[in-house]
Copies of this chain bind each other. A is one copy, B any other.
Amino acid sequence: MTIELLEKPWERLLELVETKDSAQLLDFLNSMTPPDTALAISRLRIEDQGRLFAMLNPADAAEVMEDIPDSQAAEVIEELEPEQAAAILEELDSDHIADLLWELDDEDAEAIINEMAPEDAEEARQFLEYEPDTAGGLMVSEYLAFSGEQTIREVLDDFQDKREEYSGYHVQYIFVTDTDNRLTGVLRMHDLLFPRRDSKLKNLMIENPLKIVVTASIDELRNFFEEHHLFGAPIVDAEGHLLGVVLPEAVEEARRKRSVHQFLGLSGIVGGEEFRSMPLLQRSGRRLSWLSLNIVLNIVAASVIALYQDTLAAAIALAVFLPMVSDMSGCSGNQAVAVSMRELSLGLVKPGELLRVLSKEAGIGLLNGAVLGLLLGGAAWLWKGNFYLGMVVGGALALNTLVAVSFGGLIPLLLKRLKLDPALVSSPLLTTVTDMCGFFFVLSFASLVLQRL
């Protein structure tokens, strides 16, 4: 009872926004954990979210913005005046700025960049030139670089002098560059702890360090970090100039976003993430775009039934089994799709190995088809006391399971070779095929023994 009467956090937030009490608003936000903050803010209307961020000073607003998902943060930014948005963005990491700007329209992004301090603006523009899912898009430009001629003492003194500036850095390595900013060596932080203070960096550094070119893909970065357990990878251009550092967390985060996209895609949410705080029409439209494709595929599959209407009318009991055969096979096929997508993402199968997958899946298809066919065929026989009905239904399910499992295993490989997204297309494609084949097997087998059904 009392719990029901307690004010919800977003209602309290809205009150504070309405009364324009920014000190209390900040206190209240600081009193919540980041997940609760994200939840509460997401429940406000987007205009109120904009007013909330506009009330905070840029540094505080940036801290709150780090707690909410990028796609939501981008929507808030669109609500703000460009100069407000610019002030907040300047407080974020360089790669985070780029992530958010990428979510905006080009025009909105340009308007915000124009309001930023010149050097920040230039950096942001540079970052926007890199695709978000490459080393360039994932790197941060905050790193420590020194000349090889400098001594440990000079480096440590520099640390003391610029302690403030460096405080926001993810400092794991010290890079050594030549006068032309080309990467020549690297030292780990604790390499500074042991040697004499007057040693020159060039004599201590690891020469020709591992590095990654700015155009490298997420998968290349993941392989790099899997192979070398490092806390960061220096990113260079084609000529070897040091541009930034990619942290393993950033790669992991990008991979996670991609797999969320996959998960939502498999369920038919396309064109970006959906949150229930978005307007109804936008949510409805995104879902409908995928459903409309589905309706066409469904019509194609169901047209098989239309062709066999006479058979069906003559043995109406078949109508009970049509959806069962197609649904069951669809499930079997989806299992094979999932295993293939998993093996592809782990690199345990290559897109070209169609024969291997086919031979592995055909075995399962035959075995599981036989088991399921016997079960459903037996049930049909018992129900109507008609052996031929059992044969038709069981035979159709067995054969359709074989088709579904074999085809399901191959689809992700085929789509990958055609450079289509397996997450998005596999399921509707599979369902169409299993429906068509399922209807065809049941009805054509039935038409062969129609006299006896």
Q: Is A160 an interface residue (CB 8 A)?
A: yes
A320 proximal to B (CB < 8 A): yes
**Chain A 410-433 interface mask (CB, 8 Å, partner B; 1/0):** 000000000000000000100100
Within 169-194 of A, Cβ neighbours of B (below 8 Å) are at: 171, 189-190, 192-194
Assuming the contacts A268-B335, A299-B324, A317-B309, asked whether A343 and B276 have C-beta atoms less than 8 A apart, the reply is: yes
Interface stretch, picked from A49-57, A103-111, A300-308, is A300-308
- Which one, B67, B287, B313, contacts A313 given CB within 8 A? B313
- Whether A35 and B364, one on each chain, are in contact in the complex, defined by CB atoms closer than 8 angstroms, is no
A305 to B160, CA, bound (A): 79
Determine the distance from Cα of A140 to Cα of B450 in the docked complex, in whole angstroms. 69
For A439, list chain B residues within 8 Å (CB): 323
- With a cutoff of 8 Å between Cβ atoms, the chain B residues found around residue A302 in the complex are 320-321, 323-324
Q: A316 contacts the other chain (Cβ, under 8 Å)?
A: yes
Q: How far, in whole Å, are A119 and B252 apart by their CA atoms in the complex?
A: 35
In the complex, what residue of chain B is closest to A170 when comparing beta carbons?
Answer: B229
What is the CA–CA distance of A332 and B363 in the complex, to the nearest angstrom? 33
Within the complex, what minimum Cβ distance (angstroms) separates A255 from chain B? 9
Q: Determine if A31 is an interface residue (Cβ-Cβ < 8 Å).
A: no
Chain B residues, CB < 8 A from A327: 294, 298, 431, 435
Q: Least Cβ distance of A342 to chain B in Å?
A: 7
Known contacts: A312-B319, A320-B306, A323-B302. The answer to whether A342 contacts B264 by CB under 8 A is yes
A375, CB-defined interface residue at 8 Å: yes
Q: Is A269 interfacial (CB 8 A cutoff)?
A: yes
Do residues B159 and A193 form an inter-chain contact, with CB atoms below 8 A? yes
Question: Interface of A with B (CB < 8 Å)?
Answer: 33-36, 38-39, 42, 67, 69, 156, 159-160, 171, 189-190, 192-194, 223, 226-227, 248-249, 252, 256, 259-260, 263-264, 266-269, 273-277, 280-281, 283-284, 287-288, 290-292, 294-295, 298-299, 301-303, 305-306, 309, 312-313, 316-317, 319-324, 326-328, 331-332, 334-335, 337-339, 342-343, 346-349, 356-357, 360, 363-364, 367-368, 371-372, 375-376, 379, 428, 431, 435, 439
